[in-house]
Amino acid sequence: MGVNTEGISCCFDDESKRMLKDYRKDGLDDTSRVVADALGSWDLPGSSILELGCGIGALSLDLLKKGAASVRGLDLSPEMIQLARSLAAEAGVTERVSFERGDGAVADLPNSDVVILDKVLCCYPDATALVEKSSAAARRYYVFSLPNDKRGVTRFLRLFLPLQAIFFRRNSFRFFIHSTRQIEERLKTKGFTPVFESAVGWIWSVFIFVAPGAA
Ligand SMILES: C[S@@+](CC[C@H](N)C(=O)[O-])C[C@H]1O[C@@H](n2cnc3c(N)ncnc32)[C@H](O)[C@@H]1O
């Protein structure tokens, strides 16, 4: 049986306007800024971006400004997708982007130079399915951010998991602690090479891998 994504969609529908407001005030958040700076300093021009869990599309739109050719964004939240389309129209780049509602673990994904999941795996129960599906679409770089096992923060965050039933009592959204070590090992087994890892604040880390066969 597939994952029930109702809780994710409605939690992030509720969050979407706040995320847009924060973005208009402060620009990209910290993990997205680290991803944009790392990719922007490499060979981004002309590349295709696939962002799963794109939210309001802020990171993808920034990568277009940095030289990427096209963006395909997928998110489970219809409100996020609406706002991403509006931001793309505002930026005058609608012909280079496509933002659609979809589940990155089950949708047909186009092979793309860069595949990004920024603060997404922790919202989805079946990280293995999402990583397997999304990494298979990466031609050059595979990028994700997640609380990092190696920093011990996940042991601390685990203490709060039972409290989610209280925090999120109005919907069925849950936060998941997935092992970054296991994800890294799985990617290495598939021929991916780690090229970048950066701690962002005390919870998040950004990981970038080069796809098998990419220069
Ligand atoms: C914490 S938000 C991050 C949004 C954006 N990446 C950012 O950094 O601003 C997580 C987003 O991932 C989306 N999401 C979670 N699991 C997903 C999946 N399997 N496929 C597509 N979107 C997903 C949620 O709907 C939500 O908008």
- The full set of domains in the chain, from first to last, is 6-210 (3.40.50.150)
Report how far ligand 1's centroid is from the alpha carbon of 73 (Å). Answer: 10
- Please state which of the ranges 44-48, 123-127, 151-155, 162-166 shows the lowest mean pLDDT: 162-166
| 3-class DSSP state of 214 | coil
> Residue 46: its pLDDT value, please?
94
Report how far ligand 1's centroid is from the alpha carbon of 54 (Å). Answer: 6
Pocket of ligand 1 (CB under 6 A): 8, 12, 32, 52-55, 74-77, 80, 103-105, 118-120, 123-124, 130
pLDDT-derived band at 190, boundaries 50, 70, 90: very high
- Backbone dihedral angles phi then psi of residue 122, each to the nearest 5 degrees: -70, -10
> Residue 157: its pLDDT value, please?
79
- Where b means 16+ CB within 10 Å and e means fewer, 130-167 reads bbebbbebbbbbbbbbbbbbeeebbeeeeeeeeeeeee
Statement: residue 38 has pLDDT above 80: yes
* 154 φψ region: left (φ > 0), alpha (ψ -120 to 50), beta (else): alpha
Nearest to 192 by CA among 168, 214, 170, 165: 214
> Residue 77: its pLDDT value, please?
95
Report how far ligand 1's centroid is from the alpha carbon of 174 (Å). Answer: 13
> Residue 9: its pLDDT value, please?
82
> Residue 121: its pLDDT value, please?
96
pLDDT-derived band at 177, boundaries 50, 70, 90: confident
Statement: residue 24 has pLDDT above 70: yes
* Closest-lying ligand 1 atom to the alpha carbon of residue 105: 19
Contact 172, 146 (CB under 8 A): no
Q: Average pLDDT, whole number, for the chain?
A: 92
> Residue 211: its pLDDT value, please?
97
Task: Please tell me the distance from the alpha carbon of residue 148 to that of residue 137, in angstroms, as a whole number.
Answer: 24
pLDDT-derived band at 126, boundaries 50, 70, 90: very high
| Mean pLDDT of the region 41-65 | 95
Task: Please tell me the distance from the alpha carbon of residue 125 to that of residue 110, in angstroms, as a whole number.
Answer: 23
What pTM does this model have? 0.95
